[in-house]
Structure 1
Amino acid sequence: MLRYIVRRLFSAVPVLFGITLLAFLLGILSPGNPAEILLSSGGESAYTAEQLAEVERQLGLDRPYPQQYVRWIGGVLQGDWGDSFRTKEPVREELFSRFGVTIKLAAGALLLTVMVGIPFGVLSAAREGGLMDRLSQWGSILLLSVPSFWAAILSVGIFAEQLHWLPTSGQETWLHLVLPAIVLSFSTVGTTIRLTRSTVIRELSSQYITAARGKGISQRLILGRHALSNAIPPVLTLLGNYLGGILGGSVVVESVFAINGIGKFALDSIAVRDYPALQGYVMITGFTFVAIHLLTDLLSIWFNPQIRLGGGAAA
């Protein structure tokens, strides 16, 4: 188990390097000269060649790309992610001040996914071919078919403006995050229902389940103790992947509901080509995704005795 964890940590190093390289390339390969964008954002409508050269020197743009990367990653490791062209504040502080809101939103969406997706998937598998199975499948298809932007606009119109059940925008209380979390969980709930159903059905057709039925073990015990425990690892992997995806996919939902998270910050930065802010956004979402993926791997081992006892299989 410990050796597997160490191997997984070492395997994450190249991925983390790739994320930093991608963030760096985003800044140097995107259209426009960052020095010109910085001068323009500071209100300098007309500037001299000497001013431009000085800003390029300050940003290190006059150096070869490898030296620029080493200089940039050195600053990142020391906590200096640069300053936002738009707000003139340190990117690291801008992102971390908004990260908590996005994490709360993502956690709410994940909680809804677990509370709705897994139970309905299990019930659908237990009643394969029945009314519950058909309703669950139709519902999952509907949830997967609805675009997030359209769902957000529709939910605001119905639940906030017409029924006045929930706030339309903002983040002052937990009630402000309920509607965005529901919208953000639509696709993940639909996918989780379908995956849970298919994995549980596969487990129920296994030989050890047939043997358990022959011993007179109840269907409820078979589902809870045997089938579901072996079906959980792929579902956990999916949830981990989707939690990382939710962080990136929160851009639309945060914009519609006026939530000041990292998704909205990234969208506002794209509009003005704020490359330091976008580089920081790529890094924080990428690092979070890697951490979540490692955590789901460990949880899968904990839930599946075969993986836990046979460390080589897990590798």
Structure 2
Amino acid sequence: MPTRRPTAQDVAKRAGASRSAVSMVMNGTADGNVSADLQDRIRRAAAQLEYTPHPIASGLRRQRSQMIGIVTDEAASSPFAGRMLAGASQAAAAQGYLTVIADAGGPAADTSHFVEELRRRRVDGLILATQSLRTIHVADGLRRQPSVLANCRDAAGTMAAIIPDEERGGREATEHLLALGHRRIVWIGGGNDIDARPARIRGFQTALASAGLPPGEVVEAGWDIDDGFRAAEVLFSRETEVRPHALFCANDRVATGALLAARTAGLGVPGDVSIMGYDDQRHLADATVPGLTTMALPHEGIGRVAAERLIAALDGQAMIGTDTTLLECPLVVRGSTGPRP
């Protein structure tokens, strides 16, 4: 026979208290209603009986499910989404909430179906998270429920969003290269399908202008390793006096291609050319030889802050608002950047 789960009435009997007093102590509303001595007795009794409130029953009394729904565009294939989901789930769990995740299957997928399914299952609030920084048209269901956007922005500007400070990241990455003495710095990679690229390039150009340098060369080349290889191969074929001192790559995959192109061209990294990545992609940026200097995307922080913002609103501590919160992309220095040759 399975052991019977202890109830609030069992705690009340052991502590010599009323059932309502136990409920107030367990729900954190006892101060001013239950004496300190009785609160201590109730907590001791609960610990002795190994009693914890049943989350479903508590939720029904409060008309809450204690669940947060997360809709993501492609969690299964993303090297970054896991960190964002972990950040949100851990922050939610710390405050007694369970996260339920729905993967829409790709950036082109219609998320409205998943939003409505989670709403039908009575989640208290919703987070919409995207793998890449994008501006989106928000599903109507998100506007009818307490909701926060993670790594994306509302095209109408009417919802709270937590995103990386990509422009600042682009500026600080370029400042790192400038501090090493590099002046001929070329941006390579990326396409205009992702909002991060123009923001990073703005930061790149701002840093150069602040250093009194002309606008830097920008080479559009895609986002993958072979794109970086082909673009860097062309740049490395230039005469020494016009060859770049450093490459600022759109992401770590492009930077990995640039590393391979440098080796093919017989150039040392960072002895002959420095190569800067972006994203700090696990098992890539830290696995190349040399390791990639890069800017780390704060995916875990994005998920955590999104969940904290949502829960604060659900618990009546703050309004969600419509502002965009920018999180810093920290510089991670490894071996692929060094002093100007």
TM-score relative to the length of structure 2: 0.30
* Larger strand percent: 2
* Larger helix percent: 1
Higher relative contact order (CA 8 A, sep 6+): 1
Larger radius of gyration: 2
TM-score relative to the length of structure 1: 0.32
